[in-house]
Structures are given as structure tokens and as C-alpha cells.
Structure 1
């Protein structure tokens, strides 16, 4: 199974409570006739293309805390961001949302596109990287209010420090990381100043959060982790997943990315160290509820990020 997919079976439309389905159908003005569950990602809730009785299609996602306690909060955060995205951003438009304190649901435009092929095909990758460069320009300064990456990831991006003070965790990272733990902790400590900025960043880019259309457009979907940060943050967070699922060299791609050419190398190394530490630390923890493949995915991305970092600082 690829690192970008999940094993848990998602909810179907019929699995949602009657009051949630009724509210959605009332807002949409038509009943749902069928649903097609979507692959990719790690949400254990509903993530389906819905066909309405009048022939329209929408995309819907819904969840409650019983499926995963953290997800409803992320959905609420995504609703706020998507409701305010400018029309020029290549993202689906939010049509309707629902929140009864237990179930949270989003209904968006259905994009007639497909996820990039894995392993990454060079042409599709080039399209996406070009789209990210345009996205950084469009979203600088941030057109919506969002949390700063410095605040959002303050706890996550001190993971090498956590590993260094825990003998069990130290023994579970690879030999190079164990030998270089003091250096990694020092690098990581500078990430906040390096990552700060006024660009709205998606902050969770992977193949399954991208849709490619037949007319060569690129759409970015799933925005629950959106933050403000430096204009090169999205590419830096994206490239480890590319390296983990293809033979594409992240450093070669990085040097061709416009915002990267304006970034200080030491700043990039600080954030990359923090990214690698976060993914590897998370991969060592028990799997969260209903997300059985998440830790393997985090390990693959963390290992790819660390390999990339080593090539930059060795």
C-alpha cells in the first residue's frame, strides 16, 4: 500500500445520522441518489463524491469525535478558511457547512479531476510545483485570517529535543540521527524565525490533496491545516512526500522553485530539520484512533526529509 493511502474504510452517506443527511439535502435542494467514496488521505469520516437526484455532483466530508476526536476541530478550521478563500485560488468553493456540536460537515464543488499518479510522474510533478509557485504569489499577503505556523507547530517542531531526552526514542531513530542529535536539536531551534511570514500556506500538501484536470489545471484540496508562513513553506513541506513516493530529487526540485531561490539556506535547513524531526517523532507514537496507516506514512516522509537535510548539511 502506498504511503499516501489509508486502510480504514470510510463512512458512506447512509452511515451519517438522519438529521445530518436531512439538513444537507435541504440545503442542497435535492436528495442524494448515490455516493462514491474517495481514496487517499487519512480521514476516517465521510469523504465522498455525491450525486444528487437532479444530476448535480458535490463533494462532501463529515465526521464526529467518535471516529476521531481531533478531526471535528480541523473541519471547523477548514470551514473558516475555505469560506474566505478568494475566487482566484485554485481550490473548490465551499457550498455549505453543518455543525451541531457533534457532527461537522462540509459540502464543496466537485472537481472533475484525478489525483496525480504514484510514483510521481515528472510531468505531473512539474505542473504541481508550478502551481505552488503561483499559489504563493496569489496568497501573499494572506487574504484570510489564519493561525501563524509559528503558533500552530510550536509543539510539533521541537521533536528532536523530545527525542534527545528520551532514551527509548533515541535508540529508535537511525544511527546518523543518533550521532547528530545535538546538531539536529540546534538546527531545529531556529525554525520559528525562519518559517514566519505573511503567505497563506496550505501546509499539508501531498498527492492526495491535489487534483489534476484534463484541461491542465491544478486544484489544491483539503485546507484544515492552513497557516501563515514564509512563501516557500508549502514546497518544503510537500517535497518529502514526493521523495518518499518517487525517484524525484527534492533538492533539484527545490533549486528550481522561485520562492526557494529567495530563501536563506540556513533558514531552509532549520525548518527542514524541524519537519524531519516532527514526522519521525510522530511515527514512533502509538497509532491514533481509526488511522492505522498514519504512522508508516509519517515515517516515510520523515526519513525522506532527513535524507534531504543530510544532503544539504553534510
Structure 2
């Protein structure tokens, strides 16, 4: 499902290959879909599991991703959450269909429709616009959320961010840029209010970044990996997309167009809260299976807090 270009996404974990999957998982793939004729392992994403494209004798190309608790228990939980959501959501052109699921002996595998595409460059206007168009359609589809969907709320996530901010406040200069450390009490006040300001009006993907997106040859964008989905405001995914622009000024340009005036101040608090949480993540011990995670979170922190600062200083 990875693109044909050589461009690497920001998030790159240490994955295993298809050949390293337990034999039982590989036997299930072949018994369900036929002997594997062509296989390509992929990089990209923060999962330590397998991600590969394959073709079988009995059908079209498929995409397989799999992970076990021995690699990362949290990723297994995310896979199960994604499976539950994808089974409930209606087929749409911008979301790959599930072809099969394995969940046994601590291993979870998801077989999806293969998407022939490439990772987008979100600094490029054409790719950014294509992704924005898809996310706008997705927001319309998932507002209000499908009634059977069970997903964590953004309000609950904001409570977790608040706990992390209390740690930041104890050592602000160690976690935060100088300007934010100097204003930590004011910023913390914003974070305290956020859980009460983010209604669950929409099923949000909540993990919008280049390795979770593909652009097809016809220019249409596809959204992958729903393990982090949250119930939150309709603006959530568009804000996360805007924050991927190369500069805070460019991100602000889009936020002024996408976010209603009544929600602008809450979006600023969201950026502060999430940026601080990523600052906290960046300072945690390195995970052997996710060696670039700290660096990824530090870059996220810089982007989010730079955009928050621009908005606070207007």
C-alpha cells in the first residue's frame, strides 16, 4: 500500500518483514487468499509489525499488516480498535475495504484492499489540497458519528494531556521551548478548560500525517490506519492537517478558512495541549521497536507550539 515514489514519511518505525510473521499467520493468508506470488515489505508508520503488499494466485493485490503482543501490546490494541471501526463504516473510495482479519494467540493481522498510491508531500500544494478534499468529505460522512461506533472521546484524551501538562509545569524548561516555559501557567489554564470544550460531534481519524495517507495516480487521496480514531469536533482532522504545513504562517492561513470564528480560541488551546503532550512523549525513554518515536514527537511539538504561539501573539 506504500507509494511508488522514493519519498519516506516522517514516521518510520523498525518493522518486521512478511517472512518474519508467525507461520500460522502466513498459512492463514494463503489458505484464505491463495499462494503468495509477489510480496513487497514496506517502511513507514510507527508500528513495529509487518506491512506488505502481496499478490496471490486467486485474486487481486492485497495489503497485509500484522503485529503481535511480543512486539508492542499497544499496537495490538490499536489494530483491534481499527478492525471494529472498519467493520462498521460503509465503503467509500477514500478508505480501503477490509478483506480479512486474523486475531489469535496474541497476533492480529488485517488484510485490506490494496491501494496503488504514494505517500503525499504535505508541503506541496497539490497533495495538500487533495488530502484536504478527502478529509472534508470524510467529515461530512462521519458527522454525526455512526450510532454503533464506540470510540474514545477527544475530551478523554484531553484529560490525559492535562495530566502530562502537570509534569511539564514541574520542569517547564526541560520539556518546552523557552517562550512556552515562560508562560506555562497561562498555557496550563487553557489545557484545564479543553476537556469541556471539545464535543463529540464527529468520528475523527485523529492521526492525520503523511504515512497514514496515500495519493492515487488520479490525484485522489486515501486515508489509512484508524486505530487512533476519536469522537471530537468536526474541525479536528483539518486542524491536524493544517499543522503539517512547513510554516506556522501557512498553517494559520488554512485555519482561518477552515475553522469557524467561534471555535478559533478552542483550536488554539487544542494546539497547546497536544503540543505539550508531544513534548512529554519526546522526553520518554526510547522504545527499541520505535527508535524514531521521540524525534517524531519532538518535531510535532515544535510544529504545534509554533502555530499556537503565532495565534496567541496576534
User: TM-score w.r.t. structure 1 length?
Assistant: 0.91
Is 1:291 the counterpart of 2:290? The answer is yes
Conserved? CA contact 2:117–2:214, under 8 Å: yes
Displacement of 1:239 in angstroms is: 2.8
Q: Are residues 1:175 and 2:178 paired?
A: yes
1:160 to 158, 161, 165: 165
- Which residue is equivalent to 1:98? 102
Residue from 28, 45, 49 that aligns with 2:49: 45
1:304 and 1:208 map into 2 onto residues whose CA distance is 17
Which residue of 2 is the match for residue 253 of structure 1? 254
Q: Does 1:213 align with 2:216?
A: yes
Give the secondary structure class of the aligned counterpart of 1:189.
helix
1:158 CA displacement: 3.7
Q: How far apart, CA to CA, are the structure 1 residues paired with 2:135 and 2:212?
A: 12
Return the offset for 1:137.
1.0
- Higher mean alpha-carbon deviation, 59-68 vs 144-153, is at 144-153
Deviations for 1:157-207, whole angstroms, at most 9, x for unmatched residues? 443222102x3x543422111101001101111211222222010000101
Contact 1:200 1:229 survives alignment (8 Å): yes
Q: Of residues 22, 34, 41 in structure 1, which corresponds to 2:38?
A: 34
Superimposed CA distance per residue, residues 89-119 of structure 1 (whole angstroms, 9 cap, x where no aligned partner): 621011111111411110000011111136x
Q: 3-state SS of the aligned residue for 1:147?
A: coil
Pick from 226, 229, 232 the counterpart of residue 229 of structure 1: 232
Contact kept, 8 Å, 2:145 with 2:202, in 1: the verdict is yes
Once the 2 structures are TM-superposed, how far is the Cα of residue 32 of structure 1 from its aligned partner?
A: 1.4
d(CA) in 1 for partners of 2:279 and 2:286?
13
- Cross-structure match for 1:197: 200
Q: Is the 8 A contact 2:119 2:213 kept in 1?
A: yes
Task: Show the counterpart of 1:5.
Answer: 11
Pairwise CA RMSD: 2.0
Partner Cα separation in structure 2 for residue 204 and residue 262 of structure 1: 24
Q: Secondary structure at the residue paired with 1:23?
A: helix
Structure 2 stretches of 5 or more lacking a match? 1-6
Distance 1:212 1:248 in 2: 25
Residues 301 and 100 (structure 1 numbering): CA distance in 2 closer, same or farther, change over 3 Å? same
Task: Indicate yes or no: 2:137 matched with 1:131.
Answer: no
* CA displacement at 1:43 relative to structure 2: 1.0
Please state how far the C-alpha of 1:274 moved relative to its aligned partner: 0.8
Q: Name the count of aligned residue pairs.
A: 305
Q: Which 5+ residue runs of structure 1 have no aligned equivalent?
A: none
Is the contact between residue 96 and residue 114 of structure 2 (CA under 8 Å) also seen in structure 1?
A: yes
